[in-house]
Chains A and B, each alone.
Chain A
Amino acid sequence: MAVQELSARRPGVVRFIGIDFDLGALRSASPRYWAFVSLLLTVLAMGGMAYVSQLQHGGAVMAMRDNYPWGLWFVDYMYYVGLAAGGLVVYASVHLFGAKQFHPLARLAVLQAGLLVMMALLGIVTDMERPWRAIWMLLTPNPTSPFVYTGSAANIYMIVCFVDLWILITGKGGEKWAHRMTLIALPLAIYLHTTTAFVLSMNKSRELWNSAMMTPIFLTSATASGIALLLISAYIFKRLKILEFRPSMFRSLSTLLATVMIIDQFFLLVEVLTVFWPTSAKPGHVARFSLFFTGPYWFALIPVFVLGLGAFALLAPRRTRGLPAVQITASAMYVVAVYFKRYSLMAMGFAINPLGQYSPPYAPSLIEVLLALGILALGMLMMTLAAKVLPLKVPEHDEGEHAVDVDEELKALDAEASADVLAEVR
């Protein structure tokens, strides 16, 4: 195999569990690279200190209280889990729908998914005051609790992602196993999202969450934000000349993104209509939701609509969809919009408690923010190292027997994409 030839030739390549870790690339890395890594390490260290402080002083250092039993960690959990699935949908479409243009993304998408789920799980672990008690989840799981399902799904999903990455890089099992892993990972991603939505929607005590619409909204906003993030990181990897992508791939990705975006916004609109429609409006629902339109929580929900619809408006026209600047802007807008959506989703359940008592908007404490930033830094650090060390680039010959046909097809797509851009420029 080509990979083995490489390892024979280049110095600094360490072979471990069948993967060539290119440690030599780290030695030759630029000062800017190391500056970025040390910045991430600093943030990570601050997060570590925050965690120690939290373990020492207990939950009181967090801004969560009985009115907000879940805070930033839960927002991040929902958000990261969502981002993880989007990339996987793209990757799966390579195998399931023959979307060959996404093939170069495969390793990046799977690595990103695995790291994001790891970050989501770390959020839970750092929130627990006694993390070792988590062992009870395995010893005496309660089958009526949605937590058991989402917790186990996230763990299994993370493992599947890393195994999948290993299969993709080493080529063990070939195309057949790469395909099989997709068939395992895609339903698992949907299962993970469904169960995460269940944590919210399976509560009759929280009227606003107790809606069957919650699951589809979770799935669509997860997919949309995940695709958007994948698009952004693909651009970064392209800019840094680590991976190569064609303009046509970004165009296809943007088309897919715009489609999922508008479905996502539609679901949200349906939910809002149900809450406010005169024949279905319940006073409790209206009071809670109104806080998020005109009340003190407007900052949480209004950006979801503004950024979400704005991003769709940018991507919808054929003429602008091909422009890299527009693609990146719209993706960034949606990634931010979904974060606001996750926050407002959490806050909506808690803003008025089951006894009708209002509590002012939740803002995380410094410790919580440092913890969250530390986890984010850890994820980005692993991604940064992987960019240098791991062979993320999909070899050309991996594209299979029809590589030539696909190549021509893609060239035609490229021409079309650049024609659009040219038209726009004119």
Chain B
Amino acid sequence: MSDHSEELPIESGAEAPSAAHAPEAPEEPSAARPQDAVASAPEDALATTLSRRRFLEGVGAVAGMFAAGVVPALLSAAPSSAGAATGEPEAASASAEGIEKIIEEDQPINYPGKPVWYADPAGKQKWAMVIDTKACIGCRKCVYACVEENNIGRDSGFTYIQVLEMEQGEIDLETAVLDYGEGGKPDKWYLPVQCMHCAKPTCVYGCPVKATWKEPDGIVVIDYDKCIACRNCIVTCPYGARHFNWVEPDVPKAERNPKVPVEERAGVVDKCTWCIQRTRNGMTTACVQACPVGARKFGDLNDPDSEVSVLLKTRRVIRLKEEDGTEPMIWYVG
């Protein structure tokens, strides 16, 4: 289980971030950005100074490369997130460095360089989400909004977001209840789980045909026209976030969102896209908009003043199954 409450070694102080990692002029044309990111990823990983921890991780990465026999393992050679409590005396600038590291590691993987056809090309953002489990009341408003926004088949038998009901005093997925009745109970607590858009996504590594990849802004997308339906990504995802359209999504014509494909999704794998059709156009995700208690925050880590950046710098957060090393981009704050 994942609850070792590994916290970011972040001290308070939202003013700490320097201009070094702040986005310069967001209006700047961003066409060249993806290529830059692809090219610089392995170099970044190698150029970092070799502290003891990084050296050990390097050894691990070399072993990983040997096992997989491939170059893309280089991408996983980047040191793991700031989440690991090391006790090394680097707390002084931790908050700035912490988020910088997260952004640095969140690189495109298997990115074919072509834009998603129903959304704008990726901008300079690094998307992240923070969910306040203390505020969440388990009403599933986010689930319903998501189903409507993303044209999820009404009888497909899955939703992108799964809300787990747990007993007070424990964070144990084994005893969590997924299909609790309508509305939350005050004596339980709720953990919404969806695609984490991991920095090291096992689904992207596991797809045999590169039909799923990580975009430059961190969103993991699926090419519905390429997916061969082997379902290896469903098996390999530690968050149960991927689902298969066993039937063609059944969405009444009147309720369809014209910005999201429907027919193409029959017989392929499907999952949360962080509402790519909205977020790339300056809107927030449907789940964030629908949450009645404001438990969900979505934003850009490159922007030091965004809600997510401030929350990561000021609050104690955990990530689900941190020990799996997938470096999810959804944080939970309690």
Q: With A66-B157, A145-B206, A356-B174 in contact, do A128 and B234 touch (Cβ < 8 Å)?
A: no
CB distance from B229 to the nearest CB of A (A): 5
Per-residue CB contact flags for chain A residues 47-81 toward chain B (1 = under 8 Å, else 0) read 00000000000111010111001100000000000
Q: Which single member of B174, B239, B243, B248 contacts A58 (CB below 8 Å)?
A: B248
Question: What is the CA–CA distance of A412 and B162 in the complex, to the nearest angstrom?
Answer: 70
Q: Which single member of A69, A144, A206, A357 contacts B70 (CB below 8 Å)?
A: A144
The reply to whether B208 and A70 contact each other, CB–CB distance below 8 Å, is no
CB distance from A51 to the nearest CB of B (A): 15
The reply to whether B176 and A355 contact each other, CB–CB distance below 8 Å, is yes
Residues of chain A within 8 A of B266, CB atoms compared: 58
Q: Which single member of B69, B72, B245, B324 contacts A205 (CB below 8 Å)?
A: B324
The reply to whether B162 and A203 contact each other, CB–CB distance below 8 Å, is no
Q: With A203-B202, A205-B324, A284-B174 in contact, do A140 and B210 touch (Cβ < 8 Å)?
A: yes
The reply to whether B229 and A355 contact each other, CB–CB distance below 8 Å, is no
Name which residue of chain B comes closest to A353, CB basis.
Answer: B240
CB distance from B71 to the nearest CB of A (A): 7
CB distance from A202 to the nearest CB of B (A): 8
Name the interface residues of A278-307: CB closer than 8 Å to any CB of B: 283-284, 287
The reply to whether B240 and A204 contact each other, CB–CB distance below 8 Å, is no
CB distance from B210 to the nearest CB of A (A): 5
Name which residue of chain B comes closest to A204, CB basis.
Answer: B324
Name which residue of chain B comes closest to A129, CB basis.
Answer: B267
CB distance from B155 to the nearest CB of A (A): 10
Interface residues on B, range: 35 or more
CB distance from B198 to the nearest CB of A (A): 11
Residues of chain B within 8 A of A129, CB atoms compared: 229, 267
Per-residue CB contact flags for chain B residues 56-89 toward chain A (1 = under 8 Å, else 0) read 0000000000001111110000000000000000
Residues of chain B within 8 A of A139, CB atoms compared: 209
A354 on the interface (CB 8 Å rule)?
yes
A349 on the interface (CB 8 Å rule)?
yes
CB distance from B80 to the nearest CB of A (A): 14
B259 on the interface (CB 8 Å rule)?
no
Residues of chain B within 8 A of A353, CB atoms compared: 240
CB distance from A284 to the nearest CB of B (A): 6
Greatest chain A CB density within 10 A among B211, B228, B237, B324 is at: B228
A191 on the interface (CB 8 Å rule)?
no
Residues of chain B within 8 A of A128, CB atoms compared: 228-230
CB distance from B277 to the nearest CB of A (A): 24
Q: Which single member of B173, B175, B208 contacts A147 (CB below 8 Å)?
A: B208
Residues of chain B within 8 A of A151, CB atoms compared: 208
The reply to whether B324 and A144 contact each other, CB–CB distance below 8 Å, is no
CB distance from A146 to the nearest CB of B (A): 7
The reply to whether A148 and B208 contact each other, CB–CB distance below 8 Å, is yes
Q: With A142-B207, A145-B205 in contact, do A66 and B243 touch (Cβ < 8 Å)?
A: yes
Q: Which single member of A59, A127, A203 contacts B236 (CB below 8 Å)?
A: A203
Name the interface residues of B159-202: CB closer than 8 Å to any CB of A: 162, 164, 172-176, 178, 193, 202
Residues of chain B within 8 A of A355, CB atoms compared: 162, 164, 173, 176, 178, 193, 239-240
B110 on the interface (CB 8 Å rule)?
yes
B232 on the interface (CB 8 Å rule)?
yes
The reply to whether B235 and A147 contact each other, CB–CB distance below 8 Å, is no
B134 on the interface (CB 8 Å rule)?
no
A163 on the interface (CB 8 Å rule)?
no
The reply to whether A69 and B235 contact each other, CB–CB distance below 8 Å, is yes
CB distance from A414 to the nearest CB of B (A): 48
Name which residue of chain A comes closest to B231, CB basis.
Answer: A69
Q: With A142-B208, A203-B236 in contact, do A133 and B227 touch (Cβ < 8 Å)?
A: yes
Question: What is the CA–CA distance of A393 and B316 in the complex, to the nearest angstrom?
Answer: 74
The reply to whether A357 and B240 contact each other, CB–CB distance below 8 Å, is yes
Q: With A65-B246, A142-B110 in contact, do A349 and B235 touch (Cβ < 8 Å)?
A: yes
Name which residue of chain A comes closest to B223, CB basis.
Answer: A136
Residues of chain A within 8 A of B207, CB atoms compared: 142, 145
Task: Enumerate chain B interface residues (CB-CB to A < 8 A).
Answer: 1, 68-73, 110, 157-158, 162, 164, 172-176, 178, 193, 202, 205-211, 226-232, 234-240, 243-248, 266-267, 324-325
Q: Can you sample 9 A-B contacts with CB below 8 Å?
A: A58-B248, A65-B244, A69-B244, A133-B229, A139-B209, A142-B206, A142-B208, A205-B236, A283-B174
